[in-house]
């Protein structure tokens, strides 16, 4: 069987080692005579999986005991309203930086629960750069600041918390970049991420929330209350058990690659290869206008010709380079080079770009 080079934006590539480990244990997990998909979420076997996955995530990201780690259903999109429901407690106001499609969607959901202030936006420029943020934009008291760390559709990425008051609670959607580079968790009140990029198959959301932010809003539906989920160790109801198991395997794999520091070096090299190709070419055009705003997870580019872009994607697929088509909103091409995407895959894409340029210039 020949596996393709998979540049899908999510559900995304998984490491072959992880897939083979899951295959090996699929019918008989840890000698219990059942698949991990069949065992009770309250069994000792699964509780060991849950504990292992959480402890590995804490180790890899340096998460202190000041934070609860939750494994929830609904993916990242469920967190758009859930963050507002749980954190708009005092001022009933929050700041949302509009840096892309998902940031805009999150702000719209938050408007159901309070006032949303957008201090900066790059929407008018087609999200080709990150909005410029300064601390003086946050003059009105608010419950939190929300920003999307990596804008996967457009290919922009923050590399730290945007400038804001030191006492501001910061919330970040890290769906498409979690575990890809070192971050200081202590700078954040809440971090969440859908699983389908760097964590596990789709269907799971990981939430890292500072414990003093739990239970601020009373009377929430139990399934949407972080404090209920934390009190029940993510077991208020049946969680996505297979995803949590797969997340644990992914954490083990990441540790074997040198942890977050090790994978960050590799991710920078993967991104450098593609950006160097784009920058040295008159044929390809990067979508992001400010180089300092470029993502190391989502490399977006085009030929400037829609028909050539279509041909690029179809010819790439024939050569085993899959899922390179850009999002329908942005067009062009997008190489999602998440942690599991190998250096070999990126080099194969770069070589195909060389050949396509030579043939179609």
Which CATH code is given to the segment(s) 17-256? Answer: 3.40.640.10
Segments in the chain forming alpha helices (H): 16-25, 44-61, 75-87, 101-110, 226-231, 241-256, 259-279, 306-318, 343-360
Q: How far is CA 115 from CA 61, 101, 112, 142, 168, in A?
A: 32, 19, 8, 9, 16
105-145 pLDDT, tens digit per residue, is: 999 999 999 999 999 999 999 999 999 999 999 999 999 99
- Written as six digits, the tokens of 71 are 């494994």
State the pLDDT at residue 6. Answer: 98
* SS3 call for 354: helix
263-318 pLDDT, tens digit per residue, is: 999 999 999 999 999 999 999 999 999 999 999 999 999 999 999 999 999 999 99
In the beta sheet, which residues pair with residue 150?
157
How many Cβ atoms are within 10 Å of 319's Cβ, its own excluded?
Answer: 15
State the pLDDT at residue 2. Answer: 86
For the chain, where do the domains classified as CATH 3.90.1150.10 start and end?
A: 259-360
User: Is pLDDT above 80 for 349?
Assistant: yes
2-39 pLDDT, tens digit per residue, is: 899 999 999 999 999 999 999 999 999 999 999 999 99
Percent of residues, the chain, with pLDDT higher than 70 = 100
User: Is pLDDT above 90 for 171?
Assistant: yes
* SS3 call for 91: coil
State the pLDDT at residue 264. Answer: 98
CB 182 within 8 A of CB 259: no
pLDDT confidence tier of residue 175, bands split at 50, 70 and 90: very high
* SS3 call for 203: coil
Q: What is the mean pLDDT of residues 152-177?
A: 97
* SS3 call for 116: strand
Sheet holding 190-194, edge to edge: 67-73, 204-210, 190-194, 170-173, 144-148, 93-96, 115-117
pLDDT confidence tier of residue 1, bands split at 50, 70 and 90: low
Q: How far is CA 227 from CA 195, 205, 224, 233, in A?
A: 21, 16, 9, 10
Residue whose C-alpha is closest to residue 84's, from 109, 117, 118 = 109
CB 156 within 8 A of CB 129: yes
Q: What is the mean pLDDT of residues 83-97?
A: 98
Average pLDDT, the chain: 97
- Written as six digits, the tokens of 217 are 């809003």
Q: What is the mean pLDDT of residues 56-72?
A: 98
User: Is pLDDT above 90 for 83?
Assistant: yes
The CA distance from 217 to 227, in Å, is 9
State the pLDDT at residue 97. Answer: 98
| pTM listed for this prediction | 0.97
Residue whose C-alpha is closest to residue 132's, from 99, 106, 168, 102 = 99
Q: How far is CA 141 from CA 73, 133, 189, in A?
A: 32, 17, 16
Which residues lie below 8 Å from residue 253, measured CB to CB, with a gap of 6+?
Answer: 15, 17, 18
User: Is pLDDT above 80 for 199?
Assistant: yes
Which CATH code is given to the segment(s) 259-360? Answer: 3.90.1150.10
Taken in order 270, 360, 334, 13, is the CA torsion positive or negative? negative
Which residues lie below 8 Å from residue 45, measured CB to CB, with a gap of 6+?
Answer: 29, 30, 32, 36, 39
CB 299 within 8 A of CB 335: yes
Residue whose C-alpha is closest to residue 293's, from 309, 277, 271, 273 = 271
- Written as six digits, the tokens of 254 are 């990441």
| Chain-centre distance for alpha carbon 194 | 6
Q: What is the mean pLDDT of residues 325-346?
A: 97
For the chain, where do the domains classified as CATH 3.40.640.10 start and end?
A: 17-256
């Amino acid at each position: 069987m020949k596996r393709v080079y998979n540049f899908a934006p999510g559900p995304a590539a998984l490491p072959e080692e992880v897939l083979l480990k899951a295959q090996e244990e699929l019918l008989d997990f840890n000698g219990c005579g059942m698949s991990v998909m069949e065992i009770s979420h309250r069994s000792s076997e699964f509780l060991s999986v849950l504990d292992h996955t959480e402890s590995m995530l804490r180790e890899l990201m340096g998460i202190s005991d000041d934070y609860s780690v939750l494994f929830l259903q609904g993916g990242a999109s469920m967190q758009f309203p859930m963050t507002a429901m749980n954190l708009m407690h005092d001022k009933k106001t929050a700041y949302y930086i509009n840096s892309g499609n998902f940031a805009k969607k999150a702000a719209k959901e938050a408007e159901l629960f309070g006032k949303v202030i957008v201090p900066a936006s790059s929407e008018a420029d087609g999200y080709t750069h990150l909005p410029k943020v300064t601390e003086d934009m946050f003059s009105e008291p608010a419950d939190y600041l929300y920003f999307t760390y990596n804008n996967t559709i457009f290919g922009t990425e923050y590399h730290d918390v945007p400038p804001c008051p030191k006492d501001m609670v910061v919330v970040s959607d890290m769906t498409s970049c979690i575990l890809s580079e070192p971050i200081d968790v202590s700078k954040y009140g809440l971090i969440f991420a859908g699983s389908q990029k760097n964590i596990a198959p789709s269907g799971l959301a990981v939430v890292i929330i500072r414990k003093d932010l739990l239970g601020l809003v009373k009377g929430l539906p139990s399934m949407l209350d972080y404090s209920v989920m934390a009190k029940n160790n993510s077991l208020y109801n049946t969680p996505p058990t297979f995803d949590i198991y797969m997340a644990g395997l992914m954490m083990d794999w990441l540790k074997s690659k040198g942890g977050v520091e090790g994978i960050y070096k590799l991710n920078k090299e993967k991104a450098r290869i593609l950006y160097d190709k784009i920058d040295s070419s008159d044929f390809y055009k990067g979508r992001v206008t400010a180089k300092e705003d470029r993502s190391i997870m989502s490399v977006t580019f085009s030929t400037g010709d829609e028909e050539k872009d279509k041909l690029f994607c179809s010819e790439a697929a024939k050569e085993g380079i899959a899922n390179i088509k850009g999002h329908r909103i942005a067009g062009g091409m997008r190489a999602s080079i998440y942690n599991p995407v190998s250096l070999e895959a990126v080099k194969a894409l770069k070589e195909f770009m060389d050949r396509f340029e030579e043939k179609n210039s």
